[in-house]
Amino acid sequence: MIVQITITRNELFLLKEMLPIWKKYSDGFVFYVDNSTDGTYEFLEENKEKYNILSILKITRKDELLIETDMRQLLFDEGFKFSKKIICLDTDEYLDGNMSKEELNYILDNNQDTIFHLNWIQYVDKNKIRIDGPWLNNHKDRIGSYESRAIFASIQSHSTHLPFTANHLFFQQDDLFISHLQWLDKKTVAIKQYFWKITDYVNNLKYNVDIVESSAYDASVNNFEWKITNFNFDLKVDENIYSKLEEKNNYKLQFIKEQTQKYNIPNLGDWGMNIYEK
């Protein structure tokens, strides 16, 4: 059995679309529901049998410095209870390609203690993707086959998705790749990247931790001047899916408002998208 593990927060509109797609490669699911207020936990409970949801971790975090690998270790350990073959995806990602589930199972069974890296494809439309900057050839860990429980190296934010093992292999793009929805809606992605600017600013202010500089998020956004190319695998969801996200459920936008007012944070560079003024 291949088990998928996923951290999700106020992304019910995505989960409803993603679960049927995820079943192409995953046999069961373990979720870490992080401070959700949009009915995510209730939806997953109601659909346990339909999607073979094996476990739901419901977390209410305290106001303290978040160590991402603490969250990911808890989720990995829960998933490892059910299988040594684990896929870890964010709610805005799914796997696609020509490989069948049977072929993937065979590869995992015959490559234990191995992390698999896949090309991270950035959709901007139904059949178009970003290839500017780092997006032309960007691989991420999303699949692991384990002999025994593995431990994450402690990282405060932007960690790997799975604990690394001694062996690393790469899939050919057409065989299996990660479909990422992040860049489908410019305003939504601007809010997401600005959220990380604010999060890092506050973490440095409150806890004096090292942070990612705002310039890194600027480079990622690239002032919305993207190089685009056609792609031979069509997006499996509506390219306008982010229109379903209600503003009241966009916790990133609410966090930006609250923290900006609380700490009198200046405009950290919102790319003229009027995020700071909201």
Do the beta carbons of residue 122 and residue 182 sit within 8 Å?
Answer: yes
Q: Give a yes or no: residue 233 inside a domain.
A: no
| Rounded mean pLDDT, 136-154 | 96
Q: Give a yes or no: residue 277 inside a domain.
A: no
Phi, psi dihedral angles at 123 (to 5 degrees): -70, 140
Mean pLDDT for all residues in the chain: 95
277 against 189, higher pLDDT: 189
Q: Give a yes or no: residue 145 inside a domain.
A: yes
Task: Extract the tokens encoding 71.
Answer: 């969250």
Residue-wise DSSP of 52-78 = TEEEEEEE---SS---HHHHHHHHHHH
Q: Which pLDDT tens digit goes with each residue over 31-47?
A: 999 988 999 999 999 99
* Whole-number percent of the chain with pLDDT over 70: 99
Selection from 84, 67, 88 nearest residue 150 by Cα: 84
Q: Give a yes or no: residue 190 inside a domain.
A: no
Q: Which pLDDT tens digit goes with each residue over 217-271?
A: 999 999 999 999 999 999 999 999 999 998 888 999 999 999 999 999 999 999 9
Residue 63 above 80 pLDDT? no
- How many domains in the chain? 1
pLDDT at 276: 77
Q: Which residues contact 151 (CB under 8 A, 6 or more apart)?
A: 73, 163
Give CA separation, 55 vs 30, 79, 145, 147, 149, in Å.
5, 8, 20, 22, 18
Write down the pTM of the prediction.
0.96
| Rounded mean pLDDT, 155-170 | 95
pLDDT band at residue 278 under the 50/70/90 scheme: low
| Rounded mean pLDDT, 131-142 | 95
Question: What residue type is assigned to position 204 of the chain?
Answer: N
Q: Which domain holds residue 6?
A: 2-116+138-172
pLDDT at 268: 95
| Rounded mean pLDDT, 172-193 | 96
Q: Give a yes or no: residue 23 inside a domain.
A: yes
Q: What angle do CA 87, 88, 90 make, to 5 degrees?
A: 140
Q: Give a yes or no: residue 111 inside a domain.
A: yes
Give CA separation, 277 vs 249, 261, 265, in Å.
19, 11, 12
Q: Give a yes or no: residue 92 inside a domain.
A: yes
Q: Which pLDDT tens digit goes with each residue over 6-17?
A: 999 999 999 999
pLDDT at 247: 84
Residue 62 above 80 pLDDT? no
CATH label of the domain that carries residue 39: 3.90.550
Q: Give a yes or no: residue 70 inside a domain.
A: yes
Phi/psi region, residue 127 (left: phi>0; alpha: psi -120 to 50; beta: rest), is: alpha
